[in-house]
């Protein structure tokens, strides 16, 4: 499996494949950079990140002195994404806007080593989970849409569930569509998150198709009204929302998503993508 970014290449391969590739490169007389192999003593740099191996875990941290902080928020600091997204939307900044942005910049300066840790998973039971959220009527009366996609192993109990997994993707963007209710914001956020989750799920399925593993895509929302619309076939007075609702219902009926769950707002990691003062889930 190969990841490419401009002139950088990250390769996940067996020793036999890596050796065969090197022989073919030499045979073709292609000029390339010397290859480095990730180990506990040898970190790798790729796509502006530093990759570190710590026992069985993979850690992704920012590279260098972190001058491009908005870029860092997009690759290894999800908790900073919302502030930069909102700052980019401001047309005529005022003192509170500068204060909020400077606070986030200072936080990143104080947390240069903060990044993402990727842990080993039992892939045969792993589930792809997308957490979605939407905030209605921000300062400029727009709505912010956000989602977090996680590949995780799950432990269930009668009242709740616990997951241990890896963050694959996240997003915090301003809604380009006019929203007239909280439900509309939540629906647009779910549509956006589900679209990306389908892409990732399809890619994962292509990688592991020879293992014949089931594709389990679970969508989580903290909006009970949206949950009722999709699972209990509720309705809404906003008829223009029915197109999105029917599309999500169809995906649910066709098992493109295995399950839709209603979760507590304090347990929703996507809360950090839509609010300035989110839950404490990202404070670990």
- Say which CATH topology domain 121-283 has: Nucleotidyltransferase; domain 5 (3.30.420)
CA-based torsion, 8, 14, 18, 20: positive or negative: negative
254, 205 Cβ separation under 8 angstroms? no
At a CB cut-off of 8 Å and minimum separation 6, what does 143 contact? 134, 135, 136, 137, 174, 175, 179, 184, 185, 188
For residues 273 and 148, the answer to whether their CB atoms sit within 8 Å is yes
Closest CA to 114 of 69, 150, 168, 147: 69
Tell me the pLDDT tens digit for each residue of 39-97.
888 888 887 788 888 888 888 887 764 556 666 677 788 888 888 888 888 888 889 88
* Long-range contacts, 51-58 (Cβ 8 Å, 24+): 56/119, 56/120, 57/117, 57/118, 57/119, 57/120, 58/117, 58/118
CA distance 226 to 182: 10
Any residues with CB less than 8 A from the CB of 30 and at least 6 apart, and which?
none
Question: Taking the model in full, what pTM does it have?
Answer: 0.84
Contact partners, residue 91, CB within 8 Å, separation at least 6: none
CA distance 104 to 70: 10
pLDDT of residue 234: 73
Residue 163's pLDDT is 92
pLDDT at residue 278, rounded to an integer: 65
Q: With residue 93 as reference, give the H or E element that holds it.
A: none
SS3 sequence of 163-209: EEEEEEEEEEEECCCCCCCHHHHHHHHHHHHHHHHHHHHHHHHHHHH
End-to-end CA distance of the chain: 31
227 SS3 class: helix
Other CB atoms within 10 Å distance of the CB of residue 145 = 30
Six-digit token string for 212 = 């014949």
Helix axes 242-253, 182-208, angle to 10 degrees: 30
Q: Would you kindly state where each structural domain of the chain is located, as residue ranges?
A: 2-110, 121-283
At residue 68, the pLDDT reads 61
Which stretches of the chain score pLDDT less than 50? 65
- Alpha-carbon separation of residue 68 from 76, 109, 272 (angstroms): 12, 11, 21
Q: Is 179 left (phi over 0), alpha (psi -120 to 50) or beta?
A: beta
């Amino acid at each position: 499996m190969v990841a490419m970014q401009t002139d950088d290449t990250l390769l996940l391969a067996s020793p036999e494949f890596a050796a065969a590739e090197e022989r073919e490169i030499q045979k073709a007389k292609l000029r390339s950079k010397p290859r480095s192999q990730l180990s506990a003593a040898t970190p790798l740099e790729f796509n502006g990140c530093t990759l570190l191996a710590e026992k069985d875990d993979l850690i992704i941290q920012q590279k260098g002195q972190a001058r491009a902080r908005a870029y860092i928020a997009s690759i290894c600091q999800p908790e900073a994404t919302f502030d930069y997204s909102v700052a980019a939307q401001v047309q005529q900044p005022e003192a509170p806007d500068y204060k909020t942005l400077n606070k986030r910049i200072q936080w990143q300066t104080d947390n240069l080593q903060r990044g993402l840790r990727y842990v080993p998973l039992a892939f045969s039971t792993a589930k792809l989970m997308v957490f979605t959220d939407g905030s209605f009527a921000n300062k400029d009366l727009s709505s912010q849409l956000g989602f977090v996609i996680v590949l995780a192993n799950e432990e269930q109990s009668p009242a709740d569930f616990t997951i241990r997994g890896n963050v694959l993707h996240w997003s915090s963007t301003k809604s380009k569509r006019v929203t007239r209710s909280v439900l509309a914001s939540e629906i647009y956020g779910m549509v956006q998150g589900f679209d990306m989750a389908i892409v990732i799920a399809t890619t994962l399925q292509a990688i592991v198709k020879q293992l014949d593993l089931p594709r389990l895509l679970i969508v989580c929302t903290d909006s009970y009204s949206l949950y009722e619309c999709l699972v209990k076939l509720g309705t809404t007075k906003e008829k223009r929302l029915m197109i999105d609702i029917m599309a999500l219902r169809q995906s649910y009926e066709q098992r493109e998503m295995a399950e839709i769950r209603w979760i507590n707002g304090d347990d929703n990691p996507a809360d950090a993508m839509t609010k300035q003062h989110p839950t404490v889930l990202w404070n670990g």
